[in-house]
Amino acid sequence: MRGAQVIFTADDFGRSTAINQAIVQAHQRGVLTSASLMVTGEAVSEAVALARANPSLAVGLHVVVAEGRSVLPREDVPHLVDGSGRFCADPARAGLYYFFNRQARAELAQEVRAQFERFAASGLPLSHVDGHMHLHLHPAIFPLILSLAEQYGAHGLRLPRDDLGPALCYEPGRAGTKLLWWVAFGLLGRWCRSRLKDSHLVTTERVYGLLQTGRMAEEYIVHLLRRLRVPSAEFYFHPTLAPNSEPLGPNPGDLETLLSPVVRHTIEEVGLRLATYATLAR
């Protein structure tokens, strides 16, 4: 769709130096417009410094309540983290636990607020909010996220809304997993959208990255860009300079796609506009 706004986001900003440097390269030399910051990442201080040095990079909060560290000490959130201060690494298991454990839900409210406060302490403008492994969509967490995103001045919120057909055509071998994710996150996204009716937060019509997470190849992205029929879309990636790939990201292939001249040429040829959640809100 000519004139459509497209946001290119990198997740896990602050997780490692290899990821941080890949994000800066993708922004300075490629099509990346935004990044989502893990405020408890091992390289978060470096990420904040890089964001300040690149003010055109829109930075949002990547809320972590699985496979990562908490902001609050273990004694404040004993039902959320283990002895080393880390959340459960399995998002499905963590989601079930949060749903059924009332004490964990009370501690989640404290922890999520602490992550927003740490982001605010960085002094960076809050572009958007999303969640590691999409746990920000969890029924016990989304109301917290929505309220705090509005309170802390975010412009947008990520609600995954991928297209099943192109993902199945591109990589049919994972059809079962993709179908399961498409149904589960489709239902969660619909529930979340119903709670955004009175909010100033914007969402995009499509969000691509869920069904091809860890495999956002140039060919796939070009195909999506050429067939885009909505006024706005977000494409999220997990780039890194590290040579080894993880199954669901980060991986160097995502960085190659963000730096691809073919991707940039396609954006220009189709008449799309690179955007952020702030420009979308305006």
pLDDT in tens, 132-172: 999 999 999 999 999 999 999 999 999 999 999 999 998 88
Convert 34-66 to b/e letters by CB count within 10 Å (16 or more is b): bbbbbbbbebbebbbebbeeeeebbbbbbbbbb
DSSP annotation of 237 reads E
The better pLDDT of the pair 90, 249 is held by 90
Q: What's the rounded Cα separation, in Å, for the pair 100 and 123?
A: 36
Take residue 274 and report the two structure tokens written for it.
């690179």
Q: Which domains does the chain have, with CATH numbers?
A: 5-281 (3.20.20.370)
Tens digit of pLDDT for each residue in 12-33? 999 999 999 999 999 999 999 9
Residue 251: what are its φ and ψ, rounded to 5°? -155, 150
Average confidence score pLDDT of the chain = 96
Q: How confident is the model at residue 37 (pLDDT cuts 50, 70, 90)?
A: very high
Residue 172's pLDDT is: 85
Residue 246's pLDDT is: 81
Q: What's the rounded Cα separation, in Å, for the pair 114 and 103?
A: 17
Residue 129's pLDDT is: 98
Q: Is the pLDDT of residue 245 over 80?
A: no
Beta-carbon count within 10 A of 142 CB: 20
Alpha-carbon separation of residue 243 from 17, 23, 25, 91 (angstroms):
13, 15, 16, 25
What residue type is assigned to position 187 of the chain?
A: L
Mean pLDDT in residue range 268-279: 98
Residue 145's pLDDT is: 97
Residue 67's pLDDT is: 95
Mean pLDDT in residue range 120-135: 98
Mean pLDDT in residue range 53-70: 98
Q: Which residue from 161, 140, 277 is spatially nearest to 209, judged by alpha carbons? A: 161
